[in-house]
Structure 1
Amino acid sequence: MPFRAPEEINRLNTKIAVVLDVDLPVWQKLNVTAFLASGIAATAVDSIGLNYADADGTAYAPMFGQPVMVFGADKARLTRTLNRALDRGVSPAIFTSALFGTGHDDENRAAVAAVRRAELDVVGLAVRAERKVVDKIVDGLKLHG
């Protein structure tokens, strides 16, 4: 077996999943996915691969060093997925419908803080954890079509 750096081994044993409300318009799904992915990148530095460069030597930014699976869910399944993550000690990135009406990060946090968890209108969430844990969190969901 070839040598693998510790951070590469961690990437191989983990999985990233994004779960989106299937009823959102496409532009909102894309927006939510981008924000949720940034939450995973900010909290899991070891999930980021190396910089890219083309044959001319032009440098490009690194991306996740592992696949990101995107699932679709209705409101009930989004809530179930959120609870499954929290029950397993996984801290998800969340996006609520209120965040579509905010203008910056401070307003985003205030909008989430103003609502109890049971009343959050979650339209998307992302998790990164050990593969088996993520599989249990997203069990029953279908890949987004």
Structure 2
Amino acid sequence: MAFDATFFALVGLILFFALLAYLKVPGMMATALDNRADNIRDELEQAKRLREEAQALLAEYQRKRKEAEAEAAAIVAAAEREAAMLTEDARQKTEEFVTRRNALSEQKIRQAEADAIGAVRAAAVDLAIAAAEKLIAAKSDASTQTVLFSNAIEQVKTRLN
């Protein structure tokens, strides 16, 4: 029997497969593939868990953002209310100040009028006294002055007693 190259290739192939079976290469390949599948499965589970955590964090941050926006809106509304109250208070105080100033000015005007009227009256009295004095001095003689003087002294005596 003549052995050609095909026969030797077949024998080599059979020996190769026998060697592979003896060394348990298919089991090692299966184990390696199973290990790799397990690693991939673990990575997928870890990725799924990380995705869920990320979604939970995203939901929490969105909730916190909404709360912060609501709090900011409440702060702005409170500031607007406070500004309105301060504006109203300032307007009211300004009106009260103007009213007090007007009343004070009117009082000062009335006082100035009263002072002016008093000054005019005093000037008129002084003028009337001066005119009466001149008139009496011009019309009275020594005997009239003596009679008036003695009458004045008697009135003083009666008032002192």
Please indicate the TM-score interval, normalised by the length of the shorter structure.
under 0.3
TM-score w.r.t. length of structure 1: 0.17
TM-score w.r.t. length of structure 2: 0.15
- The higher radius of gyration belongs to 2
Q: Which has the higher contact order (CA 8 A, sep 6+)?
A: 1
